[in-house]
Amino acid sequence: MALIEVKNLSYKYPTSKGDVLKNLNFSIEKGEFCSIIGCNGSGKTTLCSALRGFVPNFYKGELNGEIILDGQDMSELSMGELAMKIGYVFQNPFIQISGIKGTVFEEVAYGLENLGVDPEEIKARVEKMFEFLQIEYLKDKDPFALSGGQKQRVALASILVMEPDVLVIDEPTSQLDPIGTEEVFQTIKLMKEMGKTIILVEHKIELVAEYSDHIILLDDGEIVMDGPAKEVLSSENVLEHNTAIPQFAQLCLALKNSGLPVDDVAITEDECINVMEKILTKEAVL
Ligand code: ADP
């Protein structure tokens, strides 16, 4: 059984003209890294909000259909229960810092303190998290003195320390430079290695291709493609929905169209190098 099953999900904000999510059906397996892609306004953030229970709970509006989480109808779970099962990381790392804690260590411990967890256990869990995410060196710093990438990694650690099964991460690198982006993806990779189920919204399609197992492409609130990352991101059909495919795939498709013997549409750098090597060997033989 899939960890998350979405059935006939539609949603309308109180002020939107019609449905912004339209009869969505999909499932996500436990431990899967699923990216939601699509152009601006296609419904990605709204879908993340639905998966976290923010719609309709906070935004009100009309939700129809079902989201089944680990066999349980999500509408039957309280916001507190949901928060324990699904962690949500926002686009802007600045708004996630509580502003009341002097060090990164205290900041990451804050959520557990609120739950009344025993101080010794908090210390052990936070220390383990720092070690696992390789951010011990940030422990004693002022959260506000961190770079954008470091703030976002601390935000990820604060969510992860609560031990949710699922992480919904909405454009975590939109405000970061390339180094910050790389750091955040390293952290997300470690989260996948921990066995977490990850649902990511991200525009940087090369990174999406490198890390994702599964892709859902939205256009105007509808799912237009849903499948393994390789299958979706090597398809020219994605372009028809104003969404990019990796530059490696574009290059392979262009070479193929020009008549070269391309036997694979690569979506990652490593795959692309393989394709190039094969072309060069074949060309040399001819
Ligand atoms: P994306 O994340 O793909 O850019 P969104 O989920 O933010 O898309 O938006 C999907 C649609 O919902 C858009 O048409 C947007 O204008 C509308 N929308 C988003 N937030 C609200 C809101 N709070 N109230 C009304 N309409 C909204």
Model confidence pLDDT, tens digit, residues 92-132: 766 777 778 889 999 999 989 988 899 999 999 999 999 98
pLDDT of residue 37: 98
Mutate to test the pocket of ligand 1, among 9, 10, 16, 220 (most ligand atoms within 8 A of CB): 16
3-state helix, strand, coil in the chain (%, to 5): 45, 20, 35
How many other CB atoms are there within 10 angstroms of residue 115's CB atom?
A: 11
CA pair distance 9, 150, nearest whole angstrom: 36
> Residue 136 has what DSSP assignment?
G
- Using CA atoms, how far residue 135 sits from 27, 98, 187, in Å, is 33, 19, 10
CA of 20 to the centre of ligand 1 (A): 7
Distance in Å, CA 36 to ligand 1 centroid:
15
Q: Give me the pLDDT at residue 284, please.
A: 63
**226 in Cβ contact with 26 (< 8 Å):** yes
- Interstrand relation of 72-73 and 4-12 (parallel, antiparallel or unpaired): unpaired
Closest-lying ligand 1 atom to the alpha carbon of residue 59? 23
pLDDT number for residue 176: 85
pLDDT at site 286: 57
Q: What is the pTM of this model?
A: 0.92
Alpha helices by DSSP H, the chain:
44-52, 54-57, 79-85, 104-114, 119-132, 148-160, 178-193, 205-211, 229-233, 247-257, 269-285
For 52, the token pair is 């976290």
Distance of CA 68 to the CA centre of its chain: 19
- CB of residue 94 inside a 6 A radius of ligand 1: no
Distance 61 CA to ligand 1 centre (A): 12
